[in-house]
Each structure stands twice: as structure tokens, then as C-alpha cells.
Amino acid sequence: MVNYQFWDGGGLGLIPAPLPPDGGRLPATPPPAPPSITIPATAIAGGAATISWGASTGSISYRLERNINGTATWTQIFTGATRSFTDTVPANATTVSWRVLAQNQFGASGWRISAVRNVLRSPAVPPSITIPATVLAGGTATISWQAAQDQNTPPQALTYILERSINSINWAQVFHGAALNFTDTIPANAITAQWRVTARNLSGISSASRASVVRNIITNRPPTIDGNDDYLGEKTGAFTYDYIVTDPDPEDTITVTERLNGVLIRQYIAESGAAQTLRVAADQFVRLGNETHTLTITATDQWGATYTRTKTFSRAETQIDVSLETPLEASDMPARIVVNVDRQIPEGATFQVLVCNNGYDTEPVWEDCTNRVIMGILHHFTNTKKTTAEWGVNVRVLINRNGAAGACHILGIGGNFDGGTA
């Protein structure tokens, strides 16, 4: 029994107070059920789920249980005085729910039951990740990976998150999308690099990461080409351009590619520091139109580092006069010839074809066969004399633009000759 005494407030001493009706004993009843229970919005198989609940009254503890797949079985997973617990959702669960009660020495409250959550599954880990065998500081590296599989029913579409670690310091996201590859740019200060890829489904659930090996970074400097990217002016015929390729890394192998309007002229292995010459030959030049053209010289080392020099020029030619550099030798006097000229000549320009059978002479006898070329028939040589020891056939094509507009060029010259009678 408990006695209650209070001061009367007037300093006159203690005044006995009446006992409570129950004789001072606490009520022998269980506590009320927790007023609420909170669970995650998403439950992931094999993932963590933090469950919390509101406080009941009195000096009590709590018991938390879990149910999976809607069965009649509840499993106790926690008992204690705290009001939260982090559970692991079973891997075989398709649905999950939780319930909590409060309890004291007089018994337990009723259950506070959560909503039922459908259990989602994370995607499988991407099966593999592939990185280049050689990675250059300041260069690029294409990283690729195999598609992962989503493990939900039905499967959800996946995206991928690619992260990169430089010098083993931290991970930074460099890509997020549906593609299965990404070309990354390597920082110039990199010593090592590593990548990892993670699959993520439409529910926002991510797989574990698939990490690549750690790749040591090669510090490489690209080759250079002297001069500037500029205009070489107007050209009226075959010409050359001199340049020097230099690589600051003396052990590197330099491959140089020369192109005219994107078409290969020459590819070769260059010596660093040696003078080189690009040649636009006559047969290449005559195929060009009277417009601006582009020369590119690209130097590439064995690591893939490149440097390109670009030059432009314009063709400003109103006349074409082209012949064989060396006559075609004949054992007997050539008597007849057929000539084909693959050409593109605008209306208003003039076109002439000359042939000779004494092409080795200082002053060959040129015979006009223009009309026969146009008609596609044989020309019979009228000349029967020569001043040199050999007979030789040559063909000469002359075109004068005469101010005509449009493409004007010779694509090719061909034909045949023999020693038949005139």
C-alpha cells in the first residue's frame, strides 16, 4: 500500500491524503497495439527493408513478424524495445507483409499489420565487360558489355550504368543508357583505369556491378606534321607538297596516309624528322573539276594517336593537253589504231584527239583522229616514216574549255593498235 502526503501550501504541516480507489496498484492489462506500422514502398528479393512502428504506452517491448507469399505462417524476426528493424526480404518471396504487437508483463496487444508488398527482383549482373588491351592517357577507350537479364515476370526493360575509377581513387558515372557500349575519354593524368557496369530495370532496381580488370595507362604523345592548315592556291597541273612528320616518342612507329578528296594517294611508314613529298600526279589532276579540293595527311603511331594536316587548293585550268609519258613500243610499223577517251566535257568546250606511230621521234607526226574517236571506229595511220630505231605509238588529248561551265575532265584513255595494212 502507498501513502500519499502533500504540503497544504500554508506551511502548517502534512495533511494525509486519501488512497486511490485501487489501493495504489497499477492496472493489470496489456498495452494497446502500436498505432501504426511503416514499410518500404518497394520490396526487393534479397534486399533490405526497414520496418518501423508507432509507440504504444507503458513500459513495453515489441514483437515483429514477417509473412511471405500469403501463407498462414508468420515468422518472428525481432523482439525488443526499439521501434524499428531492418529485415532481409527472402529471395523466394513473391509477396511480403509484416505485423507488430506490443507486450508487457500482463500480456500482448493485438497486431498492427502492414500492407502487402509485391516483391520485385533485381536484374542479373551483366555477364561480362570488355575493355581495350591498350589505354592511352588523353585518348579514348570503347567499353562494351553483354546484355543482362531482368528477373521479374514479365521481364522489364533494362538500362546500364557505367562507372569509371581513375587511379583507384573513386567511382564516377560516365554513361547511363540502353546501349551496350560507350566510348570514354581518358583523363590526361590517369595512371590506372577500371570500369564497372550495373543493370537497372524500370522499377529503379539495380543489379550488382560487373567490374573490369585494372588497366595501366600508357602515356603517349601523338606525332605532329609541320606547317599549317591552309590554302595552296590555284593549280594548273600536277604538283607536289613537302612536309615533315615528327614523333616526340622516338620508339614509335609512324604510319602516314595521304588522301586527295578522301581518296587514298599513298600510305607508308615514315621516319620521324625526315622530309616527305606528297605528289598529285597528272592522271589524278586531270580528273579534278575546276573547284576547291582537299589534301589530308594523317600521321598515326602504333598506339592509335593521330595528327592530321589539311591543305586545300583549287583547280583553275581552261585547257587540257595530255599524252602518254612513254610511247607504246611496236615491233613493226603500226598501221591502224582504235582509241577510247572516257571524258566529261561541257557543251561549248572543244575536244581533239591526235595519234602518231613514230612516237619516239623528236618531232612525231601527229594525225587527227577526233571524229573516229567520237564514232568509235579505227583510224588508219598515213605516216610511214621514222627517224629513230623503234616504232612507237602515242596518243594526245586536247580540251579547251572556251568559258563553258560545268565539269570538264578526262577519266581515262584506252585503245589498241596493230600492224595491219592501211
Query: What pLDDT, in 10s, does the model give residues 232-283?
Result: 999 988 999 999 999 999 899 999 999 999 999 999 999 999 999 999 998 8
> Rounded distance, CA 253 to CA 301, Å?
5
pLDDT of 190 reads: 94
pTM of the complete model beyond 0.75:
no
What's the average model confidence in pLDDT over 49-78?
96
Q: What is the mean pLDDT of the chain?
A: 90
> Rounded distance, CA 412 to CA 381, Å?
22
Confidence of residue 119 (pLDDT cuts 50, 70, 90): very high
pLDDT of 14 reads: 40
Is it the case that residue 317 has pLDDT exceeding 80? Answer: no
CATH of 37-120, one of 3.40.640.10, 2.60.40.10, 1.10.1840.10, 3.90.1300.10: 2.60.40.10
Q: Residue 277, class by beta-carbon neighbours within 10 Å (0-12 exposed, 13-18 middle, 19+ buried)?
A: exposed
pLDDT of 9 reads: 40
Candidates 315, 316, 298; CA nearest to 306 is 298
Query: 273 in helix, strand or coil?
Result: coil
Say if CB 287 and CB 411 are below 8 A apart.
yes
User: What is the DSSP-derived secondary structure letter of residue 373?
Assistant: H
Domain ranges of the chain: 37-120, 129-218, 224-315, 319-418
> Rounded distance, CA 294 to CA 320, Å?
21
> Rounded distance, CA 394 to CA 334, Å?
11
Minimum mean pLDDT range among 16-25, 352-361, 405-414: 16-25
Q: What share of the chain is helix, strand, coil (3-state, %, to 5)?
A: 0, 50, 50
Enumerate the H helices of 213-368 as residue ranges: 282-285
| pLDDT, tens digit (0-9, with 9 covering 90-100), for 383-398 | 999 999 999 999 999 9
Confidence of residue 27 (pLDDT cuts 50, 70, 90): low
Confidence of residue 21 (pLDDT cuts 50, 70, 90): very low
- How many separate helices (H) and strands (E) can be counted in the chain? 2, 37
Query: What values do phi and psi take at 42, rounded to 5?
Result: -130, 135
Candidates 84, 98, 113, 82; CA nearest to 43 is 98
**CATH no. of 129-218:** 2.60.40.10
391 or 4, which is more confident: 391
Residues 6+ apart with CB under 8 A from 108: 30, 63, 101, 102
Instruction: Tell me if 37-120 shares its fold with 129-218.
Output: yes
Sign for the CA dihedral angle at 383, 389, 395, 399 comes to negative
CATH of 224-315, one of 2.60.40.2820, 3.90.1150.10, 3.40.50.1000, 3.40.50.150: 2.60.40.2820
